[in-house]
Amino acid sequence: MSIKAIDFSRQAVYETQLLAKAMPPNSLGRLASLALKLALIKEGPLDSLSLLLFAGDHGVVEEGVTHSPQQITYQQCCNFASGGGACSLFASLNHATLSVIDVGVNHSFSEHEAVVDCKIGYGTRNFLQGPAMGREQCLQAMEAGRNRVRVAIETGAHAIAFGEMGVGNTTSASAVAAALTNLPVSAITGKGSGLSDAELEHKISVIEQALVLHPERDPLTVLCNLGGYEIAAICGGMLEAAEASLPILLDGFVVTSAALVANAMDEYFHKYLIPCHQSGMQGHRRMLESLGCGQPLLDLQMQLGEGTGALAAWPLVRLASHLLTDMTSFSDAQVTDSTKLLQSMGLV
């Protein structure tokens, strides 16, 4: 199965439908543009969102790139799975389905903790000492992501969003992004959860050393060498969602690094992305520009991750998806067609 090129010949039909709605032309601005983009990806209203939150630990934390102790990864997974945290709150308020999935956490979860077990390993290796993951492990993580998307589709998801949890994962995300975009490491590396200026310089140095140690730039090798289990799972899941012609609600910095890998694997992939927000993390805007998926819907300076940016944008996406099918037209509403009047005057 491969990703289909979107049929843009249908766009004129949808534009005509939108102009027939009982409102002045172009009066909904970017919301109307979003409606057109969504219709080209998947016709019909979107009412069911599945957020797949993948978790994994990172060996590079040995290099002092974060102040957060690694046990926070598994602790937060338990918190999210039990209904805590921002992602759970946002999902609940949005009536979205949240799944917390362990692909590489350095912890053994018990059944009662409600974390989905897709474990490939107990954290990646330190990528300054060799590849973060073996090729087979990376492919297994990607397949785990694909499988969870299939489950989401089988249970009725109309759109898919991805979240992540993993102490140290902004270091891996920056490394992956730098390798695939050729942007300077300093341009796409931020302080994460509160580094000092000097500590940020150290983090940048660690990533620069890794790029020299791992000079290969094909996407799968980059993912193996510099990524994380959760980044690999998100990459695989995104490819599966795009192959199923579903809109993908793109979250923040770490999830976007996975999208860069998927985009390097398939030329049509980025057309299925709905960029939900511009993260407050250093360099996220430039990563989005490299993807070529358009302007993000929100810019709230969020940098939490967990899929919270996608969840914040979901109400806008859902609204836009209903415009073509559910909004009354001039004729249905028995309202004088002011758009046709403007068209007759050559103003539209």
Q: What angle do CA 265, 175, 71 make, to 5 degrees?
A: 110
* Per-residue model confidence as pLDDT tens digits over 111-135: 888 999 999 999 999 999 999 999 9
Q: In this structure, which amino acid lies at residue 8? A: F
Answer yes or no: do 237 and 255 share one domain. Answer: yes
Q: Is residue 170 part of a domain?
A: yes
Domains in the chain, number: 2
Marked catalytic residue, from 63, 230, 240, 306:
306
Answer yes or no: do 25 and 71 share one domain. Answer: no
Domain coverage including residue 120: 49-318
pLDDT of residue 1: 67
Q: CA 318 to CA 326: how far, in whole Å?
A: 12
Answer yes or no: do 195 and 299 share one domain. Answer: yes
Give the three-state DSSP class for 277: strand
Q: CA 167 to CA 306: how far, in whole Å?
A: 12
Answer yes or no: do 259 and 339 share one domain. Answer: no
Distances in Å between the Cα of 177 and the Cα atoms of 36, 154, 171, 238 are: 29, 32, 10, 16
| Residues 311/284, Cβ–Cβ less than 8 Å | no
Answer yes or no: do 177 and 83 share one domain. Answer: yes
228, 294, 311, 243: which is closest to 30 by C-alpha?
294
Distances in Å between the Cα of 142 and the Cα atoms of 161, 179, 333 are: 16, 19, 49
Q: CA 94 to CA 285: how far, in whole Å?
A: 26
Distances in Å between the Cα of 231 and the Cα atoms of 29, 106, 124, 152, 345 are: 34, 15, 11, 18, 53
Q: Is residue 206 part of a domain?
A: yes
Instruction: Please give the helix or strand (H or E) that residue 149 lies within, else none.
Output: helix 135-154
Q: Residues of the chain whose pLDDT is less than 70?
A: 1
Q: CA 103 to CA 155: how far, in whole Å?
A: 21
Answer yes or no: do 249 and 140 share one domain. Answer: yes
Q: Is residue 1 part of a domain?
A: no
Q: Tell me the β-bridge partners of 101.
A: 54, 116
Q: Is residue 2 part of a domain?
A: no
Answer yes or no: do 233 and 96 share one domain. Answer: yes
Q: Is residue 96 part of a domain?
A: yes
**Residues contacting residue 160 through CB under 8 Å, at least 6 positions apart:** 49, 50, 52, 149, 152, 237, 238, 241, 246, 247, 248, 249
pTM: 0.96
Beta strands in the chain (DSSP E): 49-56, 97-104, 116-117, 159-165, 248-250, 273-275
Answer yes or no: do 163 and 83 share one domain. Answer: yes
**Residues contacting residue 67 through CB under 8 Å, at least 6 positions apart:** 193, 194, 195
3-state helix, strand, coil in the chain (%, to 5): 55, 10, 35
With 0-12 / 13-18 / 19 or more C-beta atoms within 10 angstroms meaning exposed / middle / buried, residue 150 is middle
Q: CA 106 to CA 104: how far, in whole Å?
A: 6
Q: Give yes or no: 306 in active site.
A: yes
| Residues 124/59, Cβ–Cβ less than 8 Å | yes
Q: Is residue 104 part of a domain?
A: yes
**Residues contacting residue 256 through CB under 8 Å, at least 6 positions apart:** 173, 177, 250, 279, 284, 287, 288, 291
Q: Is residue 129 part of a domain?
A: yes
Answer yes or no: do 36 and 178 share one domain. Answer: no
Burial track 177-195 (b if 16+ CB lie within 10 A, e otherwise): bbbbbebebbebbbbbeeb
Answer yes or no: do 27 and 144 share one domain. Answer: no
| CATH code (residue 139) | 3.40.50.10210
Answer yes or no: do 31 and 105 share one domain. Answer: no
316, 344, 3: which is closest to 161 by C-alpha?
316
Instruction: Please give the helix or strand (H or E) that residue 14 lies within, else none.
Output: helix 11-19
| Residues 308/87, Cβ–Cβ less than 8 Å | yes
Answer yes or no: do 146 and 242 share one domain. Answer: yes
Q: Is residue 82 part of a domain?
A: yes
